[in-house]
């Protein structure tokens, strides 16, 4: 074979290789796009989950722009307008200092939602890593992770959070740590179970036979197979985190009473329940709707992503 023919063959092989690579990339993109469209179609059929998702989006927007769109200064005292009932001027009424409650709810959204979301994110990351290691390696690593989770599971979430804050001291940072800590064991146990299920898959065994390193197998082959379960559990934990953070602030372990945090607002309102019940009902209703929205959204994700549920 002449050099010219050899070069032509090499160019042809290169063109075929490029064509195959483009074909594979197009197919992967098409499959991913089809899966996303199928997910959206299934999710939209669950109306309660869609309602929860819309409420969550509105709450996140409120957390970003809430302090800037508040109609009144949330810290401004007005002793001439104390205990005003809900009206067109003050949608949620005023408190015992004449402060606009709706403005305080808007200003407190970044604090309450920020603590809940950030603590669940940190707890989920730690729990996911521990669960992956426990399910993949087993042995003493699994024993330590699971026995530690069992110890934490022996306490109800709110009691565990109170114990942690009692040790560390009151403060919003310590509330963040407490909520993150009680998020870890449930995520770790769930990830261990999901890892054990994916670990026995054929493509994981092929990766082992090809000599892939443990880190590559864990995070490129096993972890993607557990993301659906992780996303659902992450979403469901946010509602519990909001309740825990608000409860700790209500008990005086979290935000300062002067801060417009939803739980702290309820703590102040309980002393005026008989004279101004709107101080308690309306912020409590906001917490209820927020937790309900995340639970409905999490249920919808579970029903959509679980192939066993029709």
What pLDDT score was predicted for residue 304?
Answer: 78
pLDDT tens digits along 39-51: 677 778 888 888 9
Do 31 and 3 sit in the same domain of this protein? Answer: yes
Do 2 and 112 sit in the same domain of this protein? Answer: no
Whole-angstrom distance, CA of residue 159 vs CA of residue 51: 32
Do 173 and 261 sit in the same domain of this protein? Answer: yes
Q: Is residue 184 a part of any domain in this protein?
A: yes
Q: Could you list the mean pLDDT of each consecutive 10-residue stretch along the chain, which spans 310 residues?
A: 57 54 43 63 82 90 81 82 84 86 87 89 92 87 88 83 85 87 89 85 75 79 83 87 87 77 85 84 90 88 66
Q: Is residue 176 a part of any domain in this protein?
A: yes
Do 93 and 4 sit in the same domain of this protein? Answer: no
What pLDDT score was predicted for residue 5?
Answer: 59
Do 243 and 142 sit in the same domain of this protein? Answer: yes
DSSP characters for 59-96?
HHHHHHHHHHH-SS-TT---GGGTTPPS-SSSTT-B-T
Kind and range of the H or E run holding 123? helix 101-137
Question: Could you tell me the residue range of the domain that residue 37 belongs to?
Answer: 1-44
What does the angle CA 289 – CA 290 – CA 293 come to, to the nearest 5 degrees? 80
Q: Is residue 310 a part of any domain in this protein?
A: no
Q: Is residue 135 a part of any domain in this protein?
A: yes
Do 132 and 99 sit in the same domain of this protein? Answer: yes
Q: Is residue 95 a part of any domain in this protein?
A: yes
Do 100 and 248 sit in the same domain of this protein? Answer: yes
What pLDDT score was predicted for residue 14?
Answer: 59
Do 63 and 18 sit in the same domain of this protein? Answer: no
Closest CA to 133 of 144, 120, 142: 142
CB 239 within 8 A of CB 295: yes
CB 77 within 8 A of CB 98: yes
Do 114 and 39 sit in the same domain of this protein? Answer: no
Do 229 and 93 sit in the same domain of this protein? Answer: yes
Q: Is residue 206 a part of any domain in this protein?
A: yes
Q: Is residue 51 a part of any domain in this protein?
A: no
What pLDDT score was predicted for residue 24?
Answer: 40
pTM (two decimals): 0.81
Q: Which two tokens stand for residue 181?
A: 């800590």
* DSSP code of residue 218: I
Residue located via tokens 């005003």: 84
What pLDDT score was predicted for residue 12?
Answer: 57
Q: Is residue 49 a part of any domain in this protein?
A: no
CATH no. for residue 96? 1.10.3720.10
Do 31 and 109 sit in the same domain of this protein? Answer: no
pLDDT tens digits along 271-291: 888 888 888 888 889 999 999
What pLDDT score was predicted for residue 6?
Answer: 60
Number of domains composing the chain:
2
Do 107 and 189 sit in the same domain of this protein? Answer: yes
């Amino acid at each position: 074979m002449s050099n010219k023919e050899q070069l032509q063959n090499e160019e042809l092989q290169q063109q075929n290789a490029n064509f195959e690579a483009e074909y594979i990339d197009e197919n992967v993109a098409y499959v991913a796009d089809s899966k996303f469209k199928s997910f959206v179609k299934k999710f939209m059929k669950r109306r309660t989950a869609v309602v929860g998702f819309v409420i969550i989006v509105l709450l996140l927007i409120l957390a970003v722009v809430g302090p800037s769109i508040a109609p009144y200064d949330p810290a401004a005292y007005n002793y001439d307008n104390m205990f005003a009932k809900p009206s067109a001027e003050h949608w949620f009424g005023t408190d015992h200092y004449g402060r606009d409650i709706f403005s305080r709810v808007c200003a407190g959204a970044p604090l309450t939602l920020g603590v809940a979301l950030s603590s669940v994110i940190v707890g989920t990351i730690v729990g996911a890593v521990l669960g992956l290691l426990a399910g993949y390696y087993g042995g003493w690593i699994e024993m330590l992770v699971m026995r530690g989770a069992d110890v934490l599971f022996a306490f109800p979430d709110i009691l565990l959070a109170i114990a942690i804050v009692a040790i560390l001291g009151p403060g919003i940072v310590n509330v963040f740590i407490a909520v993150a800590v009680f998020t870890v064991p449930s995520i770790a146990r769930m990830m261990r179970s999901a890892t054990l299920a994916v670990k026995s898959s054929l493509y994981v065994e092929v990766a082992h036979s090809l000599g892939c390193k443990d880190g590559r197998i864990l995070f490129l082959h096993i972890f993607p197979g557990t993301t659906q379960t992780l996303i659902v559990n992450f979403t469901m934990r946010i509602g519990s985190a909001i309740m825990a953070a608000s409860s700790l602030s209500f008990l005086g372990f979290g935000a300062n009473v002067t801060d417009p945090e939803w739980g702290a607002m309820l703590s102040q309102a309980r002393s005026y329940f008989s004279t101004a019940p709107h101080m308690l009902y309306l912020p409590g209703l906001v917490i209820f709707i927020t937790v309900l929205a995340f639970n409905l959204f999490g249920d919808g994700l579970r029903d959509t992503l679980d192939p066993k549920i029709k």
